[in-house]
Amino acid sequence: MRHLRKIFLVLCASFLGLMLASALGSDVPLLSRLALWSKGASFSSSAAGHATINSGNEHVVAAGASLGGSVPSPFPSAEAQEVPRTSGVDTGAIPLARRSEEEERTIQIYKRAEQAVVFITTITLSVDPFELFPEVQQREGSGSGIIVDAERGIVITNLHVIQDAHKIEISLVTGQTLRAKLLGMDEAFDVAVLQLISPPPSLVSLPFADSARIEVGQRVLAIGNPFGLDRTLTAGIVSSVNRTVKGAKGRLMRGLVQTDAAINPGNSGGPLLDMEGRLIGMNSAILSQSGDSAGIGFAVPINQIRRVLPELIATGKVLRPQVGWIIVDTSQGVMVRRVMAGSSAEDAGVQPIERAIQNGPFQGFVRDFERADLIYKINGTVVRSREEIEELVSQSAPDRPLVVVVRRGGISGQEREVTISPKLG
């Protein structure tokens, strides 16, 4: 039995050796040969270095490095020639992706408009009064701006971008950085007007649109410098118009354009454009709990800015009708809290809650609700909130007096009529 086992092992080794020697002269892999041999296939080599396999009724020709085009052979034929390697990279021009008409228009608008968008950097100096040895601390801020007059180098931005800044620098699309000075500001619309010092002749300004004609649903583009990423483009639609939001210092900003185009910190002062590349507004605020874009942004309509721009450039401020009172909302209505000395309200005899008193060198205020006036009507319109009154006063003509109906001590008090002539201030 032991001798038979040795004979069997010798025969198996001889058979495997023959198979290996045959495979070295053929393109058919050894494992494939064993599989086909188990099915009764026979092998023969052609003069061209191909292996012809006959297996029953099948006739397969394996050429080169594969069997039937799918099984690679680790044993190339002796006649196989080496093929020079190539990089496999097409050095020809790669065709551009086909763009839609709207995409092409957006690209062209951006290329023109980005030249009029600037990157504003500010440096603010402050001193901590509680330090024993106070030191001047420097704080840097940034925002966006729009060139609206290329010849004079006039740039508009948001007031909160440059407020209290000791140094203002403006970076152009060319990479050039210039100093700028403040010409004027308007807190009501959060607008500041800057002028470049020694502006280059290559400046480009944006054309104005008529913001009174924009419609909810129309597409808009916003360009700015969010988080310092200069000249970033975002797109969206006009979500609403004539919005009122509370701005800096609690001041109400009215008539704003709402958009879902992404606006983030650093976008303030940048342009909101229509699909003709015209300026319809200046991005000013966002409504967000995190401080980042939540798809609710607001822009000051360009028509509002155009009305005050000449006055800001000429005088540095906007003169508006002033009554000279401080009013507050109460459970009964709007009451006059305080009246400024020498104001139109004082001249008309309006009575406030807080009246100034003088006691020797000391001055203070005494509260008297029973004599204080509640504002009931202005020019025949019943008013119910401080916002309504401020709106009516701001829209009044400087040369036209306001006819105000007040009630002494509250809503059920004695009614009387006073005439107030607002003063510009």
In the chain, where the domains are located: 10-72, 113-196, 211-312, 321-424
What DSSP element (H or E) covers 387? helix 386-395
Determine if the pTM surpasses 0.75. no
pLDDT means per 10 residues, the chain with 425 residues, are: 60 60 49 44 41 40 38 44 51 78 93 95 77 72 93 95 91 93 92 94 94 94 90 94 80 87 89 96 79 78 93 92 91 93 92 84 82 94 89 82 94 93 86
What DSSP element (H or E) covers 237? strand 232-246
Pairwise CA distance, residues 19 & 33, whole Å? 8
Domains 113-196 and 321-424 share a fold: no
* DSSP helix/strand/coil, 60: strand
Q: How far apart, in Å, are the Cα atoms of 74 and each of 32, 35, 315, 364, 371? A: 11, 16, 89, 104, 108
- The residues annotated as belonging to the active site are 160, 190, 268
- Name the token pair of 12: 């198996």
The CATH number of the structural domain formed by 211-312 is: 2.40.10.10
* DSSP helix/strand/coil, 319: coil
330: exposed, middle or buried (Cβ count in 10 Å: 0-12, 13-18, 19+):
middle
The CATH number of the structural domain formed by 321-424 is: 2.30.42.10
* DSSP helix/strand/coil, 299: strand
pLDDT score, position 423 = 87
Pairwise CA distance, residues 26 & 16, whole Å? 15
* DSSP helix/strand/coil, 89: coil
Residue with tokens 């699909």: 275
Domain 113-196, CATH class in plain words: mainly beta
pLDDT score, position 73 = 43
Q: Which amino acid is at 61?
A: V
